[in-house]
Amino acid sequence: MKAKKIAFLGLAIALAMILSFVESQIPPLAALPGIKVGLPNLVMVFLLYRVGWKETVIVSIIRIFLTSLLFGNMQTLTFSIAGAVLSLAGMILLKKSGWFSGITVSIVGGLLHNIGQIVAACLWTQTAQVAYYLPFLLVSGTVAGTVIGIASGIIVKRSEKWRLDLK
Amino acid sequence: MKKRDFILIGTIVAVIAIAIAVLSLTKKDGDYVIVRVNGNEVARYSLSQDGEYSLNGGTNILRIENGAAYLVSANCPDHLCVKQGKIDQNGETITCLPNRLTVTVFSAEEGEVELVS
């Protein structure tokens, strides 16, 4: 890996961690865990479209480990990883298909994030009834995915002039 | 946004809307709650009898009042389970992730006295 690329990805991790901290200071909108915009995903969608999927996965996983270490615990780590793995896998495949716009990819990412977290919650509590709230969480996932999709679309478009030159 | 985008997103939104519609149309008053820790039933309380119960060795306190159940206290930092409020409809569940504890409302079927969970 080129030094420039390492520096850039380090910057991306730092930015995602800051966004994650900022979000943790916003009081929860509802009593259900998992209802939030997911600000760090702005960085992930940007990386997915401007840099590459491998780099996105690396930045996402490192960011989750670091934020869980600093502000969270085993529980937050488990749920974040479950959501992120499913969400990234879905977004990468959907983007590779070349069939859908960035907003659609981001919405599906948001939905898969919630599905991953509910599955983790069911396994965590060994109780299937926890899935009762999935449809309501999916509404939040759709809204979050749309917001992140539109915002990161603007960032990707505006950054087209930058020469990242990371390869 | 292309036609494919609208088809995919439209389908997803329709499925979510149907799921929520089905959940709200099939709502039914519950008769009792089952408390589970780690998936194992630890207690069962009738909703028709008011009372306050200490769950899981005191980590959470459950109160039943006027046919609804809610948690009044928890030893975890976020207290999300307390904020989840009152539940009284079949299937509604309060979840306390830190203690791996859930409280779920059930309805006794017609003619049935107590269901086996």
DSSP B19-44: HHHHHHHT--B--EEEEEETTEEEEE
Nearest to A134 by CA among B41, B7, B91: B91
Residue A18 CA to residue A14 CA, distance in Å, equals 6
Domain covering B32-106, topology: mini-chromosome maintenance (MCM) complex, domain 2 (2.60.320)
The dihedral over CA atoms of B68, A140, B21, B66, expressed in degrees to the nearest 10, equals: 10
Which of chain A's residues have a Cβ under 8 Å away from the Cβ of B40? Answer: 126
A164, A50 Cβ separation under 8 angstroms: yes
Closest partner residue to A139 (CB to CB) among B4, B16, B101 is: B16
Enumerate the domain spans of chain A: 3-161
Nearest-by-CA chain B residue for A100:
B5
* Dihedral sign computed on CA atoms, order B42, B113, B31, A121: positive
Nearest to A38 by CA among A61, A53, A22: A22
Angstroms from B30 CA to nearest CA on chain A: 14
Tell me: the pLDDT tens digits for B40-97? 999 999 999 899 999 988 889 999 999 999 999 888 877 888 888 899 999 899 999 8
Say what the pLDDT of residue B117 is.
45
More confidently predicted of B56 and A145:
A145
The ipTM (two decimal places) reads 0.81
Domain covering A3-161, topology: Arp2/3 complex 21 kDa subunit ARPC3 (1.10.1760)
Tell me: the pLDDT tens digits for B8-39? 999 999 999 999 999 888 888 899 999 999 99
Say what the pLDDT of residue B113 is.
53
Pairing of strands B51-55, B60-65: antiparallel
Count contacts between A and B (CB, < 8 Å).
83
Give me the residues of B, 56-85, that contact A with CB < 8 A.
Answer: 78, 80-81, 83-85
Name every residue whose Cβ is closer than 8 Å to that of residue A102 and which is 6 or more positions away in sequence.
A45, A49, A149, A152, A153, A156
Give me the residues of A, 45-104, that contact B with CB < 8 A.
Answer: 75, 79, 99-101, 103-104
B2 interface with A at CB cutoff 8 Å: yes
Residue B81 CA to residue A73 CA, distance in Å, equals 18
B94, B81 Cβ separation under 8 angstroms: yes
Mean pLDDT of A84-95: 96
B73, B58 Cβ separation under 8 angstroms: no
